[in-house]
Structure 1
């Protein structure tokens, strides 16, 4: 994936979060806090674990692969959203993590 592709994904993720914000305002009168976004992410992260179990045939569930694919994508979306709302450049964060960790494992 090129840098431009990741930029497009980030833009689409933030655009989608803005649409959810509009729904939150419509239904609740306020936008979710960053903490509520983090809790939603953690809930979805837990579902990745259950979907991996299902995909590996350790937990009964129909559509295990499709559900796992969806939750993996959703978790990446949440990480982009949380980084954005926290004022963190997700591209820089990932690059810094990879650089630091690669140096540790040389």
Structure 2
């Protein structure tokens, strides 16, 4: 799927997004997760929140995987390391 987005970027901007631009796109979607969470918890008015929240959560996870791949980080290994380290800290 990222390859298709790169094709769109080439069409619209003449170049593929950099890793930094991908990170900014992730941060934008992560911020929207926050806004949709506020709405879902009835702290911000918005319609159709559950569908949008689910979409942005999925998109944020996808962006994290894209970023990990682009920076040669094994996302699964990074998650396992984080969980193990954190579990050891809170024992």
| TM-score, normalised by the number of residues in structure 1 | 0.83
Aligned length: 91
Distance 2:34 2:6 in 1: 27
Distance 1:102 1:18 in 2: 36
Q: Residue deviations 1:46-105, cap 9 Å, x none?
A: 111100000011111000111110010000000000000011000100000001001111
Distance 2:73 2:62 in 1: 14
| TM-score, normalised by the number of residues in structure 2 | 0.96
Distance 2:78 2:10 in 1: 30
Unaligned 5+ runs, structure 2 = none
Report which structure shows greater RCO (CA 8 Å, sep ≥6). 1
Report the RMSD for the aligned CA atoms in angstroms: 0.7
